[in-house]
A and B are shown apart, each in its own frame.
Chain A
Amino acid sequence: MAANGIASNGGTQNLDDSGPARKKRLMPRDKLLSSLHEIQGRSPGKTWITNDELVGIAQDYGIPLAELGGIVSFYTMFSRERRGRHIIRLCDSLSCRICGSLDIYQHIRKKLGISRGMTTGDGEFSLEIVNCLGACGTSPNMMIDDRLVSGLSMAEIDAILDSLAKEKV
């Protein structure tokens, strides 16, 4: 794509009809992020995009692999590195910070033994800090996988994490 402009590939037109292997119809480009979400969470506990999956998406959409890598790295919700079976996204926006997000951070750090950006040794949890979950009316907030968890006591947070750690697939 052009640095300051709209991508030249409109997404819907089929740019590579060069080889027999690439004759298949390309996916419309506006569905790319949905596809990335889908493949990243393809099975319970899988929270990252593998290299093989990335190659598959690049072929489905007709996007050069390097460009696709650049797109994936731009968005914070995608990871190409292995992450925990569950992602804890702790909000540390101003509202959450002044309502106690640091206390929760310290609590989770001690409980799970991981800091920001780390995954527990057993591969259960990854801890991420995010900049706003858009739920400031119930600060402090975090998301555990797809679920918004707000205004809970440390004991309640412990209960959720413990129950998640127990349920194995």
Chain B
Amino acid sequence: MSDTQCITKFATLANPLDIDAFAASSGFSGLRKALAMSPVEVVAEVKRSGLRGRGGAGFPTGLKWESIAIDDERYLVCNADEGEPGTFKDRFVLEHAPFLVLEGMAIAAYAIGARTGYIYVRGEYPHIVGSLSSAIASAVKAGHLGEHILGGDFAFNVEVRIGGGSYVVGDETALLNSLMGNRGYPFLKPPFPTEKGLWGKPTIVNNVETLAYVPYIFARGAEAFASIGSPDSPGLKLFSVSGHIAHPGVYEFPMGSTVRELAAAAGGAIGNLKAIQIGGTAGPIFDAAALGYSLDFVSMRKVGGALGSGALVFMNTTVNMAQVLDVTMRFFAEESCGQCFPCRYGTRQLAFMANKIASGQGKAEYLDLMRETARVMVGSSFCPFGQSIALPLESLLDGFGDEVLSFVKQQEFLKEAAV
């Protein structure tokens, strides 16, 4: 395994569902080493590696595993409900390296004492439900899942569940509600899922990519993993690169790589670069200065953003920022789960104003009203979804507010001139 390729290395296999080919390229070697350790040692190893959750929040994975409460039944859930606009890395992992995820799940289950695991796949990826089920069947047959894993006493079974179309379900508490056949409402923490999760039992929810990096820590050692990337956010990371860029796709780079390095790897921007949205729809919209930013959890916080899911959407000068505002606000309004009033109503107000602006019926005062609405939502929304809308909105208005305002004024002028 080279130091700049882990998941993407397995992704080059001709048939991702060929378990022998996976094993031949040192697949399952991490599981073998992990099972030779005690569960406590496995958790300690993950803590030493510094692995942080790749779903968006960046919570230290070892710490999460360690915090699971003691109970007769515990669960492991793989969050494959990838819905963050601009993000397609989990689809990539599941399509190209499904066994890596299963291996990571088996190690995690061993560490936390889970006998049952679920993979919750978003409804929009129906083909992945089928391919995962067949990967699971092969892994059980080969003794890497199921009863007596690798001939020992450890037993772990994985089942696949499918979502019904909802962005909010990507939140771990909402995902658990959905997995239990309910509306996908987030619930208040504490208690954390590590204490009361699935069916009220202690549950660990990890992102697809997080689990896919776990085997590396055991195959190559925690130090090897920790030596890659930046000290606060070690390891490799998958970046979803899209928009006005020559070769959009999923790129695996060390944490702390710059946006410029990613852009260069993807062949550079098409046209004149104007803006970059980093981290997903709930991430800020930066101007081209963001090329110099380092992509890791800590560095992105310092510039007022978030690494999020590692999505990078490049926009060139053909893009009207009023349209970006419209698309972004509409996303929030349509995906708000409606559980709490500030988010349900606030997102609709914001989408209304953004749509008016984009369709040439906006008013100059909307810009301030939108900021005010977002501020109220930050302070009063139930979950991070409603609180996060301020980040894209404020960054867009800070960086491109003049453009939006002049667009609004021009439209007003045209309307008056037409009378």
Contact = CB atoms under 8 A, between A and B. Distances in A.
Given A30-B179, A61-B181, A137 B249 contact: yes
Nearest to B186: A4
Contact of A98 (B90, B167, B250, B319): B319
A65 interface: no
A75 B164 contact: yes
A44 interface: no
Contacts of A89: 124
Given A33-B163, A77-B123, A135 B177 contact: no
Interface stretch (A14-22, A106-114, A126-134, A155-163): A126-134
B180 interface: yes
A109 B121 CA distance: 31
Given A1-B182, A30-B180, A139 B315 contact: no
A7 interface: yes
A36 interface: yes
A10 interface: yes
A34 interface: yes
A145 to B, nearest CB: 9
Interface string A26-39: 00011111101100
B83 A137 contact: no
A97 to B, nearest CB: 5
Nearest to A91: B85
B115 interface: no
B177 A98 contact: no
Contacts of A33: 123, 161-164, 178, 181
Contact of B313 (A1, A131, A136): A136
A97 B197 CA distance: 37
A78 B165 contact: yes
Contact of A11 (B82, B196, B199): B199
B86 interface: yes
Given A30-B161, A37-B123, A132 B84 contact: yes
A136 B85 contact: yes
Contact of B118 (A12, A30, A143): A30
B182 A136 contact: no
B159 to A, nearest CB: 8
Given A93-B327, A136-B248, A137-B241, A70 B183 contact: yes
B417 interface: no
The interface centre, meaning the residue of A89, A98, A146 with most chain B CB atoms within 10 A of its CB, is A98
Interface in B323-357: 323-324, 327-328, 331, 334-335, 337, 339
A94 B248 CA distance: 14
Interface string B225-268: 00000000000000011111000111000000000000000000
A95 B85 contact: yes
A110 B149 CA distance: 57
Interface string B160-189: 011111110000000011111111110110
A54 interface: no
B384 interface: no
A137 B162 contact: no
Contacts of B125: 134
B127 interface: yes
A146 B323 CA distance: 29
B313 A95 contact: yes
B285 to A, nearest CB: 9
A95 B281 CA distance: 10
B110 interface: no
A146 B126 contact: yes
A10 B75 CA distance: 14
Contacts of A11: 180-181, 199
Nearest to B242: A136
B76 to A, nearest CB: 14
B144 interface: no
B131 to A, nearest CB: 13
Given A36-B164, A146-B126, A137 B181 contact: no
A78 B164 contact: yes
A75 B123 contact: yes
B399 interface: no
B162 A131 contact: no
B184 A75 contact: yes
B180 A95 contact: no
Nearest to A97: B327
Nearest to B196: A6
A51 interface: no
Q: Closest 10 CB pairs between A and B?
A: A75-B164, A32-B181, A77-B165, A76-B165, A136-B242, A29-B181, A93-B85, A132-B85, A74-B183, A95-B242
Interface of B: 82-88, 90-91, 118, 122-127, 161-167, 176-185, 187-188, 196-197, 199-200, 240-244, 248-250, 277, 281, 311, 313, 315, 318-319, 323-324, 327-328, 331, 334-335, 337, 339
Given A75-B166, A97-B324, 14 more contacts: A1-B182, A1-B183, A6-B176, A7-B177, A7-B181, A12-B199, A30-B161, A37-B123, A75-B164, A94-B328, A95-B243, A97-B323, A134-B122, A139-B242
Interface of A: 1, 3-7, 10-12, 29-34, 36-37, 61, 63, 70-71, 74-78, 89, 92-95, 97-99, 130-139, 143, 146
